[in-house]
Amino acid sequence: MATPLAGLKTMPTGVNKNEAIFNEAIVLMEALLYRGAQSRAFTAPPAGSPSPANGTIYLLPEGSPTATGDWSGQEGKLAVYYNGWRFIPPAEGLTVWIIDELQMVQYRSGVWTNISEFPAQTLAELTDVDFSGSPSLAIGDSITWNGTAFVPGSAASSAYSGVRVRKSTAQTIMTATHTVLTWDTEDWDDNSFRDAGQPTRLVAPVAGRYEVTLLAMSASVSASFVWVPYIMINAAGTGTLPGEAAACFQNTIGVNSVKGGSVTVQLSLSAGDYVEGFVIHTRGSNLDTDTKSYMHMQLLKAT
């Protein structure tokens, strides 16, 4: 008798000296466990001397050209060498690695089929992608993936896009006056967050959740006073405290203390909303900002 899939011979009961049957089964079982075939390009055993090493496996061709020599009549089977050739018939789902091709093949519906972990797909085969406009995508064209629309080159298509601006020259802050900060230097701007005509504003290009940081530093001082940097939304350059500020930080500055303060806040903004940074202080006389001051706005998630 033989097993139904690999054709392994079974030992009949009540018969002594079944070593040959057992050993034959072990050879074929090992081949099925270590399914690395040298090639599937040969139609006959490779010519020459010496003979193949025990354990050598080939996948025999299917159909035409037919196998010849010691492989004659064994098309589509695994040929295993162990002091002679043995043959294993394929069964549905049997998978073999072809060494000289670096290719995995699997027996499916009666034929050996190339398989890979990530099958290659053309754009036409990606049925969950909806392209609007021409097939050649340009900035501004919309792509829908799993129900979410993306626009190449826009903030919505790039998590963590953002902007950072800073001061390269000092700005005078009058005492006890809410003063909006202007930004004259751009370190980066990924998606048109900044309007050059409005140097105080950072604008949300899309609706989403943003993180905004303001660092406002004062120039050298020789007295103690309160210095309050804060952030406001859509304030049109007019600052107030405390209720309408998105966030604020009060720092009492002394002769030997840090000369300024920073505030960070996460905000849900609509497209077109903007934020501005402000400072108010109680020194009693006007005070200049330090050029280390900056403002940073980051898109965390488009909504």
pLDDT tens digits, one per residue of 234-245: 988 776 665 456
Res. 123 pLDDT band, cuts 50 70 90: very low
The answer to whether the predicted template modeling score (pTM) of the entire model surpasses 0.85 is: no
Question: Of 103, 122, 124, which is closest to residue 113 (Cα–Cα)?
Answer: 103
Residue 71, SS3 per DSSP = helix
CA-to-CA distance for 107 and 75, rounded, in angstroms?
13
The least confident of 28-32, 44-48, 59-63, 75-79 is 28-32
Question: How many Cα atoms are found within 13 Å in the side-chain-facing hemisphere of 155?
Answer: 28
- Residues 156 and 150: beta-carbon distance below 8 Å: yes
- Whole-angstrom Cα distance, residue 199 to residue 211? 19
Cα Rg of the chain, angstroms: 37
Mean pLDDT of 156-161: 54
What per-residue confidence (pLDDT) applies to 46? 83
Convert the pLDDT of each residue in 57-83 to its tens digit.
899 988 777 888 899 999 999 898 888
DSSP 291: T
Question: Helix H segments across the chain?
Answer: 19-33
User: Which residues have CB under 8 Å from 33's CB, separation 6+?
Assistant: none
Contact 298, 210 (CB under 8 A): yes
